[in-house]
Amino acid sequence: MYNGIGLKTARGSGTNGFVQRNLSYIRPSRVLQFSQKQEQEIIEQAAMGKSNREIAQSLFLSEGTVRNYISAILEKLSLRDRTQLVVFYFTKIC
């Protein structure tokens, strides 16, 4: 193990410097704790294919608020777009 990450290197293999330089490419494990129940509800509804407008109407929020929540969720989970959020939901949460 290397710094608790699970990378194995042979002693004297010369890879330690490579591993140290490239630790930035390894993403930490994603924690599935959401600070608010609304975040979870928004993820679930987005995964079901609802638009921001439909999510906003069902949760009694404005579209801008839903958009802000989705942006914050994407950043928190290190995802690029809504499609990745849906895939993440079905592979990790559901």
DSSP state of 24: G
3-state secondary structure 35-62: CCHHHHHHHHHHHCCCCHHHHHHHHCCC
The pLDDT tens digits of the residues spanning 24-77 come to 444 444 555 667 899 999 999 999 999 999 999 999 999 999 999 999 999 999
Rounded Cα distance, 20 and 30, in Å: 21
pTM: 0.64
**34, two tokens:** 């959401």
Task: For residue 86, give Cα distances in angstroms to 7, 61, 62.
Answer: 29, 21, 21
The pLDDT tens digits of the residues spanning 15-34 come to 555 444 544 444 444 555 66
